[in-house]
Amino acid sequence: MPVDSDAVVREILESRVKTIAVVGCSSTPGNAAHDVPKYLFEQGYDVIPVNPYADEIFGRPVADSLSDVDETIDLVCIFRPSEEVSGIVDEVLARDDVDVIWTQRGIRDDEAAARAERDGRDVVQDRCMRVEHRRLAV
């Protein structure tokens, strides 16, 4: 069952996560897939942009996919359509370092979430990280 407890979301945001890979991170200001990761970066998280169509976001090089990220990742934040979540979860499950998968508002895949949870990962679905951070962790 995806995480729905404010206490667990607060724990994730405040103590379990330092490095966030953002799949679908946008280079376009005003786009939620840009503004939310920028906010997280400004809050002190190490944000790793993942987007095969961009070279640099927030002054950082952009990875084409999760498998191209060499750094340790604590959380994968997904800004891609729901129908792409399953493939992204497959990439997460191929890694040993990701503890949390978070899909942004309007994005969910219950089957992929169940697979991730069976593998010991926490999943937060259909919630905005910026909204939840402002509400619970600030």
CATH number at residue 13: 3.40.50.720
Question: Would 1 be classed as within a structural domain?
Answer: no
The model's pTM: 0.96
CB 130 within 8 A of CB 39: yes
Domain that holds residue 46: 6-136
Residue 1: pLDDT band (50, 70, 90) is: confident
Question: Would 14 be classed as within a structural domain?
Answer: yes
Question: Would 99 be classed as within a structural domain?
Answer: yes
Question: Would 98 be classed as within a structural domain?
Answer: yes
Is the pLDDT confidence value at 48 over 70?
yes
CB 102 within 8 A of CB 127: yes
Total domain count, the chain = 1
Residue-wise pLDDT tens digits, 33-42: 999 999 999 9
Question: Would 105 be classed as within a structural domain?
Answer: yes
